[in-house]
Each structure stands twice: as structure tokens, then as C-alpha cells.
Structure 1
Amino acid sequence: MAACGDGPASEPGDKKVMLYSGRNEALIKPLLDKFTQQTGIEIEARYGTTAQMAAQLAEEGDRSPAEAFLSQDAGALGAVNKKGLLAPLPPEVGAKVPATYRAQDGNWVGVTARSRVLVHNPTLVKAEELPSSVFDLTDARWKGKVAIAPTNGSFQAFVTGVRLQHGEAKAKEFFTALKANDVQILENNIAIVEAVDAGKVPVGLVNHYYLGEIAKERGTTPDKLNAKLHFFAPGDTGAMVNVSGIGVLRRSGTDPDVRALVDFLLSAEAQTDFAQRTFEYPLVAGAPAPAYVPPLADLKVPAIDLNDLDTLEASIALIKAAGLTP
């Protein structure tokens, strides 16, 4: 059920949890409803973009009615944590997830993982022509052929990854060069995959799971789409893996209802649901990964600490400076 987010905070053990969700309602609500059915604990959710929810939490501070924050990416969790708003999670909770995908201080934990990829149309781009590095996309041969969604949180986190791995100067140079190479700016990842699938643009930068989502909407499977996924070379920033995750607000750190929600999201049932319904990588051992992508353990990700993806404002400023805002 939707909530305005400015009501009184619930009490520990009152069978209610106020959740600020940066994840899309259509994606997450079915799972939250299942949690309520199993536990009797009501979820009062406020939905918005991850950036909006993080900003709201920062503005409200300790006055916030939120008890938990479900984020689309690690950067927003880090930003909220930097404000001192998140409580340490019990060690046994964090231990369910590989150390790479949880906070170093134990104050948030990844729920699912998503890899950055290049979606491409094989009729427009031959396999041998696909770039090994995301930085190759500024070459003249890619002029006007690349689509991005700069207002999307996953793209903004990717910008942060470039800044972290290569420094501010190279990041600015790269994104300015993308703009100069007539990069195509679309609304979101879904629009990119649909455009590539329809042959309107050869390639686009997206998260892996959108291919599965679109195939499901069309009543088919990813292998039947024209659009295909290309994973960049090991260690390349274009192969960055980010997480969706959850943190518990400091004043609710010992609330058993909130703990029950966190445990549920990391259960085999919920992790399997994410893999099968939203096509994300599960992070808890034992849950099956989506069939159309390599196993998460096989991905050779760049040396980027997800704990450092908390400088969102600087990345948005760089996107604007490069002229990539629509």
C-alpha cells in the first residue's frame, strides 16, 4: 500500500514496516505482498527513484518515518550511510552475501546483482566488430550508433565507476567524447533495448536484466529477441556489477519486523523470485541464476569498491557538464 511518508513511525513488533523503495513498485510489490501474506507484517511503502528516496532520507534525517531503505544501487545506500542514518546489520545477515556485495561497515547488504552490458543487434553489428572496452565507443566508427540513458540511476552509477577507476579527468574526457560522437540519448534502459531490438540503433549501454524483462512482456524468451548481450573484457569499467540492496534506519535497527523483511529478501524463495521474475543475479548461495547470462562468479568485474559509489552528486554534475542531459 502506498504511503505519503510523513506519518508517525511504527513501533517495534507492531506488525508494520515503513519502507522507502527506490525500486519500481511493479517489480517489488508482488514480493512484498507475499511477505505480508506469510508473516502478517504490513509493508507501508513509499515509492520513487532511488535518488529521490535517498534525498528524502537525507532531508528528513532522524525525523524520517522510514524504517528501511530498498535501493536500486549501492551508491545511494552509501550516501545515506554516510549521513549516519543506517544501523549495523547483524553479522549473520551480512554473511549470507559475498563481501564484495555488502557494506564494509555492515550497515547495508546487497539483495540482487546486475551487470552492465552492451546490448547489440547482430544484423547491424557483427560479432567481430563488438568492442572489448566501453572506451572504444568514442571511436569514429561508433558515431551515432550508441544509445545511453543518462537520467537512469544505473548509468549514473556507471559514471561514478569510471570516475573511481580512472579519475575525474579521464571520466570527463570520455563522456564529453561520447557526446561529441553523437551518442543517442533515450529515456531509460527499456527504451534502449527496444530500439536495439527494432534495429533503430545498433548498440546501447544497459543492465543485463532488461533483455529478460522485455522478452517476458512479449511472451517469449531472450534468445528469440533480435537484441543480444555483449559483456566487455575482464576488468573493463563497462563490465561493472552493481547491486540493489537494503539498509535499516538507525532507530529501527532492533525492530523484529524490519529484521524479518531483510531476512525474507535474502531467503532462497525471494532470491529465486528475483532471478526468475526480474532476471537479476541472486546473491545468496543456492538460488538459481537467470539462464541466459553467465554465472555471477564467472564475471570478471573491474576493481571498483561498491562502498565508494556514494558520490552521486559529482557524477550527475559530470553528466551535465558533458552535455548528456536530454
Structure 2
Amino acid sequence: MRRPLARTLTALAAAALLGPMLAACGSDEPADLVIYSGRNENLVKPLIEKLEKHLNANVEVRYGDSAELSAQLLEEGDQTEAGLFFSQDAGALGALSAEKRLAPLPQATLDKVAPAHRGAAGDWTGVSGRVRVLAYDPAKVPTPPNSIHELVKPEWKGKIGFVPTNASFQAFVTGLRVLEGDDAARTWLKGLKANEPKKYENNLKVLEAVDKGEVPLGLINHYYWYEQAAEKGEGKLKAKVHYLPKGDPGGLVNVAGVGILKGADKKQAAFAQKAADYFLSAEAQEYFAQETKEYPLAAGVKTAEGVPPMESLQPPKIDLGKLDSLKQTLAMLQEVGLV
């Protein structure tokens, strides 16, 4: 079946952009497993090195943006060299699942992770979780808001920091669209823009701005706060972190996850399966918990000290695979003038 021209052009454009972005790690020996990774190299390279030792194999990793890698994989189809997709975002995995580009995972693998954190079709699984939270300055915000819907009220004008180009923010907007509909999401985005939020380069810059008193409140992922708190030492971080309650869309729990690509030869598919299971092992889950301060999703591993346990959170209930409509989210953000 021929792909729609728009999708093909989008994928080709993504592939062209990815050319200079893709980087590989590993030896000069032929790869036993090729991974397309939407996760940052600095963040996961130590884990990939552990994976190579575990597999006793040569692993080649090509790094890039999760959404762009997903588009490239759709274009490559069965001709892809990749055996495993390691995505920063559930939506990119959902996009591949919708096009039936992922192979089914064994039930034993799926059962290691709660259904809420894996694909409904059984072809991808989350391996670590992150939560959208509010960073706030307690000197200026004694009682932080309990809903993102409060942020469009006039009293928050000029007081919010965010990163509209960040994948996690865009995944949150996609979640808002799924949960409350496009009209409600568009209205909220227009209200946010009317409050003149301050744009930053990344989540860490937002947190630093809150900590320095540049803005009273910021939209970030939880682990940035815990990483900075650990780095600076107890009590040195002025900014605090607030988890949104009662299923508020602003408290979305998203996952980084993996899926095995259809088209991989038997050898690579076998290594990809072993890699997927490794990412759910105690060693890898401890890495996510302790090194990146993310939420471990398997092996009974606990969160890092000070990070609230997953069962204490009140995130919105959502099929994470439905976060695949990034293109529509980007169009909406452009429509309201936030990107």
C-alpha cells in the first residue's frame, strides 16, 4: 500500500534532519544489535555499556529525536537496520504500533510492567517513568496551584516558565487533547499564551529560573528537581516541587520505552528481545531510579530516596499509546503562537 505523500515527505524531511544528528557508539565490529535511541546519549550511554556486557555483543546506537526517529523507521519499513527502538516518549512508540511496525512482545516480558505503562497491543513496554510537575518558589507561591487550569487565570500573568519546544511539554499537550478534547486544549493554550509565559531553552533552565527568583513557577519533569537537589545538597535548592492531584492533566505520567522492530533478522531480533528484558532487569531499573531519578517500572525496584512512590501519585488515566498525534499538537501550538 502506498503511503500518503504528506507522510512520506515528512519522514524524508525527518531523515534529512537526522543525518547530522545520528551518532553511533560501539566498536568497529559489525553490530549484533542496532538501537535507534530517542534518549539522550549522555543520559543512557553508561546503561548501553552495561547492556553490551550483559549481551556479550556489539551494540550500535543511533541517537536522535524520538518523533523524528519514529518517522524515519516508518519510512524505512522492513528495510530498517534497527532491531530495537528506545524511545523517550510513549507517543513515538504508539505511532509505530499504529502502523504495525513493532513485533509482539512475549507475555512474560509484558507482565513485568503494569498495563498502564505499556502498549495496549502488546508490542511495546515502558522501562522508566517521569511525571509532569510544577516547580515553584515558596517565597512567592506559598500554596502552589492544584491544576494546570488555574494557570490561565490573570494572577499568573508573566509568572510561568516553560519550554514549548520540549518533547515532554508537547506530550503533555497531546495528553490534554486526548483527555479533554482539541477545543478545550486549544482554549487552554490560548489562555496560557495570554498570560505571557516565559520561554526557556530546556527544563533545567526553567528550574534554575524558579530557583533564582526569575519566575515564581515552572512546568518541568520531576527528575530535574531531584537531580539538582542531590547535586546541590540538602536544603540548597530554593525551588520546591509540586505533584498535581486528582487526575489533573498537568500530572501526566509518561514513559520511556522499547519496542522490537519488524523486519529485523532472527539474530538481531533475539538480541533485541534480550535487550528489552535487560532494561526491565533490577540492574537497569536501579540505574533509572538512582542515576536519572526516574520512576522504575519493574523488578520491584524502589524510587530514589525522597522521590514519592508511584502508588502515591494521582495521575490522569490515559492510554499512553494515544500520545502519538504529535503532528496535530505541533500544529495547534503553532496556531496559537506558542512555537
TM value normalised by structure 2? 0.88
Relative to 1, partners in 2 of residues 1:167 and 1:196: Cα closer, same or farther, differing over 3 Å?
A: same
Aligned length: 314
Per the alignment, residue 197 of structure 1 pairs with 211
Per the alignment, residue 168 of structure 2 pairs with 154
How far does residue 6 in structure 1 lie from its aligned partner after superposition?
11
Q: Deviations over 1:258-315 (max 9, x none)?
A: 1111111000010011100000000014212022221101111112211211111111
Per the alignment, residue 200 of structure 2 pairs with 186
**Aligned partners of 2:233 and 2:287: how far apart in 1?**
17
Superposition misfits of 4+ residues, deviation over 6 angstroms: 2-7
How far does residue 51 in structure 1 lie from its aligned partner after superposition?
1.6
**Aligned partners of 1:318 and 1:221: how far apart in 2?**
40
Q: Contact 2:92–2:324 at 8 Å: present in 1 too?
A: yes
Per the alignment, residue 231 of structure 1 pairs with 243
Relative to 1, partners in 2 of residues 1:146 and 1:54: Cα closer, same or farther, differing over 3 Å?
A: same
Per the alignment, residue 253 of structure 2 pairs with 241
For 2:116, give the aligned amino acid: T
**Aligned partners of 1:117 and 1:253: how far apart in 2?**
41
Q: Deviations over 1:81-136 (max 9, x none)?
A: 11221100111001000000001111000000111100111122112xx1111110
For 2:98, give the aligned amino acid: K
Q: Contact 1:87–1:253 at 8 Å: present in 2 too?
A: no
Q: Contact 1:110–1:243 at 8 Å: present in 2 too?
A: yes
Per the alignment, residue 70 of structure 2 pairs with 54
- 1:270 is aligned to 2:284: yes
Q: Contact 1:89–1:108 at 8 Å: present in 2 too?
A: yes
Among 245, 252, 262, the alignment partner of 1:250 is 262
- The answer for unaligned runs of 5 or more in structure 2 is 1-18, 25-29
Per the alignment, residue 89 of structure 1 pairs with 105
**Aligned partners of 1:258 and 1:100: how far apart in 2?**
23
SS state at 2:324 partner: coil
Per the alignment, residue 11 of structure 1 pairs with none
How far does residue 72 in structure 1 lie from its aligned partner after superposition?
0.8
Per the alignment, residue 213 of structure 1 pairs with 227
How far does residue 3 in structure 1 lie from its aligned partner after superposition?
11
**Aligned partners of 1:3 and 1:324: how far apart in 2?**
27
How far does residue 15 in structure 1 lie from its aligned partner after superposition?
6.5
Among 93, 96, 102, the alignment partner of 1:80 is 96
**Aligned partners of 2:278 and 2:206: how far apart in 1?**
33
How far does residue 185 in structure 1 lie from its aligned partner after superposition?
1.2
Among 292, 301, 323, the alignment partner of 1:287 is 301
Q: Contact 2:174–2:323 at 8 Å: present in 1 too?
A: yes
Relative to 1, partners in 2 of residues 1:142 and 1:6: Cα closer, same or farther, differing over 3 Å?
A: closer
**Aligned partners of 1:266 and 1:124: how far apart in 2?**
41
Structure 1 window deviating more from structure 2 (34-43 vs 187-196): it is 34-43
Q: Contact 1:215–1:222 at 8 Å: present in 2 too?
A: yes
**Aligned partners of 2:255 and 2:149: how far apart in 1?**
23
**Aligned partners of 1:170 and 1:321: how far apart in 2?**
14
**Aligned partners of 1:159 and 1:190: how far apart in 2?**
19
- 1:68 is aligned to 2:68: no
How far does residue 37 in structure 1 lie from its aligned partner after superposition?
2.2
How far does residue 22 in structure 1 lie from its aligned partner after superposition?
0.3
Relative to 1, partners in 2 of residues 1:137 and 1:121: Cα closer, same or farther, differing over 3 Å?
A: same
Per the alignment, residue 273 of structure 2 pairs with 259
Give the alignment's Cα RMSD to 1 decimal: 2.0
**Aligned partners of 2:21 and 2:146: how far apart in 1?**
46
For 1:87, give the aligned amino acid: A
SS state at 1:294 partner: coil
Among 18, 42, 45, the alignment partner of 1:29 is 45
**Aligned partners of 2:226 and 2:311: how far apart in 1?**
20
**Aligned partners of 1:89 and 1:252: how far apart in 2?**
14
Per the alignment, residue 320 of structure 2 pairs with 306
Per the alignment, residue 135 of structure 1 pairs with 149
How far does residue 223 in structure 1 lie from its aligned partner after superposition?
4.7
Q: Contact 1:3–1:45 at 8 Å: present in 2 too?
A: no
Per the alignment, residue 123 of structure 1 pairs with 139
For 1:65, give the aligned amino acid: E
- The answer for unaligned runs of 5 or more in structure 1 is 8-13
For 1:165, give the aligned amino acid: L
TM value normalised by structure 1? 0.92
Per the alignment, residue 145 of structure 1 pairs with 159
**Aligned partners of 2:311 and 2:45: how far apart in 1?**
28
SS state at 1:62 partner: helix
SS state at 1:192 partner: helix
